[in-house]
Structure 1
């Protein structure tokens, strides 16, 4: 079965990885960012080797989001950046083809252990089964 596995983050998290501390997160050092990328790269290589990796990508920072909604007049309303009330947003994802929910949960356990500096926020890893189009809900 295919699963969507997502990690979350905020604009402050992206800025912290660029060395800018905030009340939300400590500033990351360049070697901490490199350790995170190396860990995720090794994980992706392992998943490709097992044949479970379908796709996986990091997402651009929330400041680069564009929302398109339908206005009351029926025309598109376009806004840039996250809504002010939005906190965590998807920061990256994997589409994995795993034999079981237990297996994808093992992978999520590896993801949650990605190295980061002490004091950086830790978000849950979200697992969602992907519907196969045959009407499963």
Structure 2
């Protein structure tokens, strides 16, 4: 069964990782970043070795994202945001192919345990079945 595991974040979290703290998002040190990258790298390596990893990526900061709609004639209309400081967005994801939801939950729990600086927000990991509407019982 395929699942998408989604890690959430805010622009303030990306800013904090770059050394700019704000209320509720303390600045990350080089050691904090190294611990995060080591944790996620280990998780990715283990999933690749087990054959469960289909894809996984961290995403660029939300302020680099754009919304695209279409004008009446079909021409793309590109705009910034709306990305309020308090709005959580997708910060990264994995597509995994595992035996069942229980295994997906184990992996999500491991991702959730990523080391963070004291006081940094720790968002839940969203586990969402991929494909087969109604066919992936949890």
- Scaled by the length of structure 1, what TM-score is found? 0.90
- Residue 40 of structure 2 corresponds to which residue in structure 1? 40
1:13 match: 13
Contact conserved, 2:53 with 2:94, CA < 8 A, in 1?
yes
Gap change, CA 1:105 and 1:113, over 3 Å in 2:
same
**Counterpart of 1:70?**
70
- Determine the structure 1 residue equivalent to 2:131: 131
Would you say how many aligned residue pairs link Structure 1 and Structure 2?
A: 134
Which secondary structure state, in structure 2, belongs to the residue aligned with residue 13 of structure 1? helix
CA distance in 1, matches of 2:86, 2:80: 13
Gaps of 5+ in 2: none
Q: Name the CA distance, whole Å, in 1 between partners of 2:82 and 2:31.
A: 29
**Relative to 1, partners in 2 of residues 1:14 and 1:85: Cα closer, same or farther, differing over 3 Å?**
closer
My pick for the range that moved more, 81-90 or 16-25, is 81-90
- Contact 1:32–1:117 (CA<8 Å) still a contact in 2? yes
CA displacement at 1:7 relative to structure 2: 0.1
Distance 1:53 1:121 in 2: 26
| 2:84 aligned residue | 84
Give the CA RMSD over aligned residues. Answer: 1.7
Q: What's the counterpart of residue 99 of structure 1?
A: 99
CA distance in 2, matches of 1:82, 1:28: 26
Aligned counterpart, 1:114: 114
Kept after mapping to 2: 8 A contact 1:6/1:93: yes
1:93 shift after superposition: 0.2
Tell me if the contact between 1:32 and 1:116 (Cα under 8 Å) persists in the aligned partners. Answer: yes
Whole-angstrom CA distance in 2 between matches of 1:85 and 1:58: 19
